[in-house]
Structure 1
Amino acid sequence: MSMYISTNLYNPGRLQEVFQLMDEIGDPSVGIELFPQWQSEVFCNELAKQMEDLMQYPISLHGPYYCTEHSKPEGTEEYARSMQYFYQTLQLSRRLKSKYIVYHHNNCLVEPERRDEMISVSTENLRKLRREAKHFNAQIVIENAGVLSRGNMLFDEEQFIQIALSMPENILLDVGHAHANGWNIGKVIAKLAHKIIAYHVHNNDGCEDNHNRIHEGTLDFAQFLACYQKHTPQADIVIEYGPQYAHDRNGIVQDVAYINKVLNCKQTA
């Protein structure tokens, strides 16, 4: 198991703050999941400045999210931009030797009458990116994206299990999204244990996608860790908090220590 801290914490221009957090964590085995914001010139400039420092850490990459929509077909402006952003992410993956890149089938609102079309288009776009990823020696992993409260959940629990089983890619299970959508997280983990290689962890009120700290919400995080240890003890854990915690370095350090303590105790019991 490896642990990563997502830079989803930081707005464009504040990327350098992740290194202060990493210093306070003080564990060289903890890496960074870089959340690229290609739509922001400020972010791109900051990324260039911080590249050498990023190379000192284990890296995973979130796929582009902002201004990105993989359910839009070829020939549209959204398709062209999304593919360009992902190509930039593939280049970054090769430079930083990223462990994997996270893929969202969609980010936009799901209109029920367009759902099948959206799945077909995003699956085809994933096929193209799968082919490109081979040239960069990159691994794409599929995330359960979207929440009911935002109207952008493309797959419900059973549909996600089936799509995950049908794809050659491995899975990153976002437990915050699953909780907000009312999924049986233990069941999903048990069904997909052989495909899950990582988790995004955060908490919420069971409805909104708050990206809170792991104990600030209605998800029983200790129960999740027990399920994790039973079914997927080698999977990575990515702490993916929202920008509201950018200044709470001490809290994040505590959460890293808590996860390590619980899992190490179980491994040695």
Structure 2
Amino acid sequence: MKLSISDLAYAGFRYHDFCQLPKTCGLEFFYEFGTPTYWDTVLPLMLEDRQNGVSVHGPCVQVNLAVDENVRFLEVFLDTFRYAQKIRAEFVVVHTNEALPEEDPFVLRQRVVRKLALLLQLGKEMGVTPVIENVGLRPSGSLLFDREQFLELPQIFPEAGFLLDVGHAHVNGWDLAATVRALGHRLKGCHLHDNDGTGDQHQYLGNGTIQWAPFFEALKEKAPEARLVLEYAKLPPEGMAKHVESVRKEYGI
């Protein structure tokens, strides 16, 4: 398994902090939060001597695939895919939806599926790998694909890869180990962060109520090549370095 760190906690001028993080960890960054010129400037610094590669988090603010009026999604993703292609990113994370408009959920899911099909085809043409992430939170009413519906997507898209956001899944009451086993080798990555089950808190592992041991056991069995991205809201560089060492030791990553 490849361990990476998201730049979520180090956005903007905090990229200097990111440069201090363990070089044995890869990087995932939110492309839409900077311009191509910005990334051309800071990525060489962030990636210098860094191991385990890089992945890109696709647009999650500009784009909501569930919204019918969002006609710019292909343009926005095309820009993202071009940059991912340029830096040879392992994959680009694609959200199913981030908020639930007041429409028929079935109609919304069909709309998302149609758009995902277009993005997967675009990725194939460009040599970029999109991975489909579970999003939406039951407590806030934004969950469009529950566990059963999300697990239908690998059948709809037999060539697609998937990313399991463990924090989102925990809030929605999913059996994490069973979900990993159901996705199997189609699981290309995971967003790892903890919470108390009531909201998307992006806490570090061990600072919530997720039972991590069964999850990692299933992961090693069914998706040992998956990229594991620590996606935390905040953790100072010195704290992250110690935390990474602790996670590696405790879970054998």
For the criterion TM > 0.5, the same-fold answer is yes
Among residues 123, 141, 155, which one is paired with 2:113 in the alignment?
Answer: 123
Deviation sequence 1:212-263 (CA, Å, 0-9, x none):
0011100012332223223322222111111x33xx2222222322332244
In the other structure, the counterpart of 1:59 is 54
1:192 correspondence with 2:188: no
Consecutive unaligned residues of structure 2, counting only runs of 5 or more, are none
Question: Which stretch of the first structure deviates more once superposed, 250-259 or 1-10?
Answer: 250-259
State the 1:150 CA deviation: 2.4
**Cα separation, 2, equivalents of 1:71 and 1:84:** 16
TM-score (norm 2): 0.89
Q: Secondary structure at the match of 2:104?
A: helix
Aligned length: 248
What fraction of aligned residue pairs are identical, expressed as a percent?
28
In the other structure, the counterpart of 2:77 is 86
In the other structure, the counterpart of 1:12 is 12
Contact 2:109 2:145 in 1 (8 A): no
**Cα separation, 1, equivalents of 2:143 and 2:15:** 29
Contact 2:181 2:219 in 1 (8 A): no
Q: 1:264 to 1:186 in 2, by over 3 A?
A: closer
**Cα separation, 2, equivalents of 1:255 and 1:228:** 20
Q: Secondary structure at the match of 2:15?
A: coil
Contact 1:198 1:235 in 2 (8 A): yes
Contact 2:213 2:251 in 1 (8 A): no
Q: 1:259 to 1:155 in 2, by over 3 A?
A: same
In the other structure, the counterpart of 1:218 is 209
The amino acid of 2:20's aligned partner reads Q
**Cα separation, 2, equivalents of 1:62 and 1:141:** 10
Question: Which stretch of the first structure deviates more once superposed, 213-222 or 161-170?
Answer: 161-170
In the other structure, the counterpart of 1:141 is 131
Deviation sequence 1:141-164 (CA, Å, 0-9, x none):
111111112221111111111223
**Cα separation, 2, equivalents of 1:54 and 1:251:** 18
State the 1:63 CA deviation: 0.9
Contact 2:18 2:237 in 1 (8 A): no
The amino acid of 1:155's aligned partner reads F
Map 1:1-269; keep pairs closer than 5 Å. Answer: 1-21=1-21, 25-27=22-24, 30-38=25-33, 43-44=34-35, 46-54=38-46, 56=48, 57=50, 58-73=53-68, 76=69, 78-80=70-72, 82-111=73-102, 113-167=103-157, 168-242=159-233, 244-245=234-235, 248-264=236-252
State the 1:54 CA deviation: 4.8
The amino acid of 1:203's aligned partner reads D
Q: Secondary structure at the match of 1:225?
A: helix
**Cα separation, 2, equivalents of 1:100 and 1:124:** 20
Q: 1:53 to 1:230 in 2, by over 3 A?
A: same
**Cα separation, 2, equivalents of 1:34 and 1:114:** 33
TM-score (norm 1): 0.84
**Cα separation, 1, equivalents of 2:250 and 2:221:** 13
